Structure 1
Amino acid sequence: MIRIEGITAFVTVAESGSVSEAARRLRLSKSVVSERLAELERSLGGALLHRTTRKLTLTEDGTAFLQRSLRIIEEISIGVSEIAERRGTLSGPLRMSAPVTFGRMHLGPALYPFLALNPLIELVLDLDDRRVDVSSDGYDAIIRHGPINDSRLVVWKLCSSRRLLVASPDYLRRYGMPKVLADLDDHKAIFYTNRGVTDWRFQTPGGAVVVRAQQAIGMNNGDMMRDAALAGLGIALLPAFIVGPSVREGLLQIIDIDHQPEEEFIYMAHPEGRNASAKLRAVIDHLRITFGDPPYWDVTNKDKA
């Protein structure tokens, strides 16, 4: 008899690419995952995976069975969610990924009250600034900051996210206050490197304009970029959710130039073709209410002064 535990183990191994990673995601031992895989293959009468010392790949039968297995698991998940909704409860596992700084400063504090009200939800939240693949990395959803341009994802906007050009008062005293885009060419820049670019893009009536200032330092973390700006190393283009407190305290100053950075958002996304569970929809609704739009961390004109 085919057991759902075996199907779940097979799908998780196929998506993660290894028994070790599948065991971590399922919070089981490697031996249990391997045993469930072997039992499933015995029930089906054939191998689903090619096993070598370096990697696992799907057999022809495995490729065909994976598509059926995904639909089986999705239908079970939908069924569980529907029953939970009828009972007025939210329960079960939920795996999400979010950026490090946003997760620490805003997402965690927003989620803790929600989880306290819904103690049957088993949340696993991975904080990582790299661009994860929501499908192959096994996430139910990802939360990200940036432009929304991935057509493979179903996306819900949680709130807008303004980015601000900031520098320390000491830096601006030494190098002067930029007034127009062209002035930035002569300034030192603190660039975010996780997107693979070392430039800034601004909106103009004629389209996007790229500004390449002199790189002072490149970093892959927003907290450290803010700290580098506080140390007077250069100008940084950072979200208000990171630099808002420093601006309000007068430690960083907003640089108002003639054009605005390209529009970005805080958004949640999951793979196209999968239905959002009741608990995921509840998380989305809760975060939208908690963050607001414009969000509570935004910097007002009074704060800029």
Structure 2
Amino acid sequence: MLKIDGITAFVAVAEAGSISEAARRLRLSKSVVSERLSEMEKALGATLLHRTTRKLTLTEDGAAFLERATRIAHEVREAAADLAERRGTLTGPLRIAAPVTFGRKHLGPALYPFLADHPGIELTLDLDDRRVDAASEGYDAIIRHGLIADSRLVAWTLARSRRLLVAAPDYLSRYGRPASLADLENHRGIFYANRGVADWRFQGPDGAVIIRGKLAFGVNNGDVMHDAAIAGLGIALLPTFIAGPAIKEGRLVEIDVGCRPEAEFIFMAHPEGRNPSAKLRAIADHLRKAFGDPPYWDREG
């Protein structure tokens, strides 16, 4: 007889790629997860996973079983949460990924009061600046800054994001202050490495304008970009939720080149085909109110 906890363990292992990571996500010991997998394989009369010392892969039977198992595990989890929500309680596990800098500076502080008001929610927040695959890595949702390019995601806007070209006063005194888009091409740039290209994108009267500066420093974290700009390494295009305080303090100077950067947003996105839970919708609504329109980081001072 198949047990739900065995199906849940199998799905978690398939998504995580290892028993140890699945155990961490499920908050169980490795031995318990392994035992549940073995019991389910015995009940099915089939081997679902190839186990070696280096990696874990799905067998042909495992790959065939995974799609339905994933759906079953998700439906059972959501059914239990729906029953609680019918009683007016938001409850159950949620797993969300978000960028490090935004998560530390703004997302975390916005979430704390919501979680205190809804202690039944078991939220795991993974802060990571890489481009997370929400569907294959088992996330209920991801929060991102920019544009959502993954067609498998359904995106909800949480807040607008205004970006500014900035540099340290010391850098501008040494290299001059650009006054046009053409001037930027001769300047050293600090670029977000996860985008894969060293350029700045602006919204011109006839569409997008792309300017390629000289790469001075590339890094995949907004805090480090901010610090590198303050250190005078070059010009950076940063959102105001990162650069705002340093601009007010005079450690960074806004640069006007006569053209606005392309508009971006703070998004929450969930995998297409999944019915988002009431608790996920409630978190999204709370974050919209907490950030405001325009967002509070553009209104302070």
Q: TM-score, normalised by structure 1?
A: 0.94
State whether residues 77 and 277 of structure 1, in contact with CA within 8 Å, keep that contact through their aligned partners in structure 2. no
Alignment coverage as a number of residue pairs: 301
Write the distance in 2 (CA, Å) between the matches of 1:172 and 1:39.
Answer: 66
Q: State whether structure 2 residue 31 is matched by structure 1 residue 28.
A: no
C-alpha offsets along residues 114-164 of structure 1, whole Å, 9 cap, x if unaligned? 011011111111111111111221211111111122211011111111111
Structure 1 residues not aligned, in runs of 5+: none
Per the TM alignment, residue 201 of structure 1 is displaced from its structure 2 partner at its CA by: 1.3
* 1:279 corresponding residue in structure 2: 279
* 2:292 corresponding residue in structure 1: 292
Write the letter of the residue equivalent to 1:64.
A
Write the distance in 2 (CA, Å) between the matches of 1:171 and 1:50.
Answer: 56
Structure 2 residues not aligned, in runs of 5+: none
Per the TM alignment, residue 52 of structure 1 is displaced from its structure 2 partner at its CA by: 2.7
Write the distance in 1 (CA, Å) between the matches of 2:186 and 2:42.
Answer: 68
Per the TM alignment, residue 10 of structure 1 is displaced from its structure 2 partner at its CA by: 0.4
- Equivalent runs, 1:155-194 vs 2, <5 Å: 155-194=155-194
Write the distance in 1 (CA, Å) between the matches of 2:88 and 2:299.
Answer: 38
Write the distance in 1 (CA, Å) between the matches of 2:222 and 2:61.
Answer: 45
1:297 is paired with a residue of what secondary structure? Answer: helix
Write the letter of the residue equivalent to 1:194.
N
State whether residues 153 and 270 of structure 1, in contact with CA within 8 Å, keep that contact through their aligned partners in structure 2. yes
- Equivalent runs, 1:226-305 vs 2, <5 Å: 226-298=226-298
State whether residues 85 and 91 of structure 2, in contact with CA within 8 Å, keep that contact through their aligned partners in structure 1. no
Deviates more, 1:250-259 or 1:48-57: 48-57
C-alpha offsets along residues 57-104 of structure 1, whole Å, 9 cap, x if unaligned? 222222222122122122212312321221111111111111111011
* 1:67 corresponding residue in structure 2: 67
Per the TM alignment, residue 13 of structure 1 is displaced from its structure 2 partner at its CA by: 0.9
Write the distance in 2 (CA, Å) between the matches of 1:19 and 1:209.
Answer: 47
Write the distance in 2 (CA, Å) between the matches of 1:164 and 1:84.
Answer: 45
Write the distance in 2 (CA, Å) between the matches of 1:67 and 1:231.
Answer: 50
C-alpha offsets along residues 221-250 of structure 1, whole Å, 9 cap, x if unaligned? 111111111122211101111001111222
* 1:116 corresponding residue in structure 2: 116
2:233 is paired with a residue of what secondary structure? Answer: coil
1:90 is paired with a residue of what secondary structure? Answer: coil
* 2:147 corresponding residue in structure 1: 147
